[in-house]
Amino acid sequence: MSSSLTKADVQRIAQLAHLELTESEQELFLQQLSQILDYARRLQDVETTDVPPTWHPESDLRPLRQDIPKPSLSPEDALSNAPAPGPRNLFRVPKVIG
C-alpha cells in the first residue's frame, strides 16, 4: 500500500459524510480508499499523448438532435397545477433546511 492516506483521513472523511465507523470499518475503508487512490495514480502514468480528446465515449455513434428553440409554457400555465403558487410566478415548496 503506497498511499499516504491515514486513519485520521478516513475519520475526517467519515465525519464529513456523517458516518459512524467502527474500528474495523475504519481499517477496511483505509485499505479500500488507499487502493482507489493508488489506482488513480497508476492512471496518471498511461501514455495519452497521441490520443485525441473526446467529450463522450459514444460521441460518433449517436448524433444529437438539432437545437431548435420552441415556445415554452407561460408562467401562468406552468403554475396552473401548483398547489400554492408563490409570489412573482414562483413555485412554493416546503422548507427542507432547518
Asked if residues 43 and 36 have their Cβ atoms less than 8 Å apart, the reply is no
Residue 50 included in any domain: no
pLDDT tens digits, one per residue of 36-73: 999 999 999 999 999 888 776 665 666 678 889 999 99
Asked if residues 32 and 55 have their Cβ atoms less than 8 Å apart, the reply is no
Question: HSE of 42 in the Cβ direction (CA atoms, 13 Å)?
Answer: 9
Q: How confident is the model at residue 29 (pLDDT cuts 50, 70, 90)?
A: very high
The span from the CA of 17 to the CA of 49, in Å, is 37
Residue 97 included in any domain: no
Signed CA dihedral, 34, 38, 39, 44: sign only = positive
Return the DSSP state at 86. B
Residue 52 included in any domain: no
pLDDT at 1: 44
Q: What is the CATH number of the domain that holds 30?
A: 1.10.20
Residue 17 included in any domain: yes
Q: How many domains does the chain have?
A: 1
pLDDT at 28: 97
Residue 23 included in any domain: yes
Bridge partners (DSSP) of residue 86 are 90
